[in-house]
Copies of this chain bind each other. A is one copy, B any other.
Amino acid sequence: MSYTAPIKEMLFVMNELANLDAVSALPGCEDATRDTAEAVLEENAKFVSGVIEPLNHAGDKEPSYWHDGQVTTTKGFKEAFRQFADAGWQGLQHPQEFGGQGLPKLIGTPCVEMLHGANLSFALVALLSDGAIEALLTAGSDEQKATYLEPLVTGKWTGTMNLTEPQAGSDLAAVRTRAEPQGDGTYKVFGTKIFITYGEHDMTENIAHLVLARTPDAPPGVKGISLFIVPKFMVNADGSPGARNDVHCVSIEHKLGIKASPTAVLQFGDHGGAIGTLVGEENRGLEYMFIMMNAARFGVGMQGIGLAENAYQKAVAFARDRVQSRDVAGSSGPVPIIHHPDVRRMLMSMRAQTEAARALAYVGAGFHDIAHHHQDEETRAAHQAVYEYLVPVIKGWSTEMSENVARDGVQVHGGMGFIEETGAAQHYRDAKILTIYEGTTAIQANDLVGRKTLRDGGKVAKHLLAQARATATQLGELEGGDFAADFSSIRARLEQGAADLEAVVDFVLGNAKSDVKAVFAGSVPYLKLAGIVLGGWQMARAALIAQQKLSSGGGDAAFYQAKIATARFFADHFVAQSTAMRAAIVDGHAGVLALPEAMF
Say whether, besides A403-B407, A418-B256, A517-B341, A583 and B590 are in contact (CB < 8 Å). Answer: no
**In the complex, A564 Cα to B419 Cα: how many Å?**
42
CB of B590 within 8 A of CB of A572, answer: yes
When distances are taken between beta carbons in the complex, the residues of chain B under 8 Å from A595 are: 344, 348, 562, 565-566
When distances are taken between beta carbons in the complex, the residues of chain B under 8 Å from A195 are: 415
Answer yes or no: A432 CB below 8 A from chain B CBs. yes
Residue on B nearest A255 in the bound complex, by CB: B418
When distances are taken between beta carbons in the complex, the residues of chain B under 8 Å from A569 are: 588, 591-592, 594
When distances are taken between beta carbons in the complex, the residues of chain B under 8 Å from A516 are: 328-329
Q: Which residues A436-486 have CB closer than 8 A to chain B?
A: 436-437, 440-442, 445, 485-486
CB of B164 within 8 A of CB of A415, answer: yes
CB of B255 within 8 A of CB of A419, answer: yes
Interface size on A, residues (CB 8 A): 100
**In the complex, A420 Cα to B589 Cα: how many Å?**
32
Say whether, besides A324-B170, A325-B173, A520-B342, A572 and B593 are in contact (CB < 8 Å). Answer: no
Say whether, besides A316-B600, A572-B583, A419 and B253 are in contact (CB < 8 Å). Answer: yes
CB of B590 within 8 A of CB of A485, answer: yes
**In the complex, A328 Cα to B577 Cα: how many Å?**
28
CB of B591 within 8 A of CB of A338, answer: no
Q: Mark A578-590, 1 if CB is under 8 A from B, else 0.
A: 0110011001111
Q: Which residues A157-180 have CB closer than 8 A to chain B?
A: 164, 167, 169-171, 173-174
**In the complex, A343 Cα to B403 Cα: how many Å?**
19
CB of A328 within 8 A of CB of B590, answer: no
CB of B442 within 8 A of CB of A342, answer: yes
Q: Mark A307-328, 1 if CB is under 8 A from B, else 0.
A: 0000000001001100111001
Say whether, besides A171-B334, A256-B418, A341-B523, A591 and B576 are in contact (CB < 8 Å). Answer: no
CB of B169 within 8 A of CB of A414, answer: yes
CB of A517 within 8 A of CB of B576, answer: no
Which among B256, B565, B594 is the interface contact of A425 at CB below 8 angstroms? Answer: B256
Say whether, besides A328-B520, A587-B572, A418 and B440 are in contact (CB < 8 Å). Answer: no
Answer yes or no: A257 CB below 8 A from chain B CBs. yes
Which among B170, B254, B599 is the interface contact of A558 at CB below 8 angstroms? Answer: B599
When distances are taken between beta carbons in the complex, the residues of chain B under 8 Å from A417 are: 432, 436
Which among B257, B351, B410 is the interface contact of A418 at CB below 8 angstroms? Answer: B257
Q: Which residues of A contact B (CB under 8 A)?
A: 164, 167, 169-171, 173-174, 195, 253-257, 316, 319-320, 323-325, 328-329, 334, 338-345, 347-348, 351-352, 403, 407, 410-411, 414-415, 417-421, 425, 428-429, 432-433, 435-437, 440-442, 445, 485-486, 489, 516-518, 520-524, 558-559, 561-562, 565-566, 568-573, 576-577, 579-580, 583-584, 587-600
CB<8 Å pairs between A and B, sample of 29:
A164-B415, A167-B323, A170-B324, A171-B325, A174-B334, A254-B419, A254-B421, A255-B419, A256-B420, A256-B429, A316-B600, A340-B520, A341-B520, A341-B589, A344-B595, A347-B600, A418-B433, A418-B436, A429-B429, A485-B590, A489-B590, A558-B598, A559-B599, A562-B595, A562-B599, A573-B591, A576-B583, A576-B587, A576-B588
If A410-B432, A569-B592 are given as contacts, then 4 extra A-B residue pairs at C-beta distance below 8 Å, sorted by A number, are: A256-B419, A256-B420, A558-B596, A566-B595
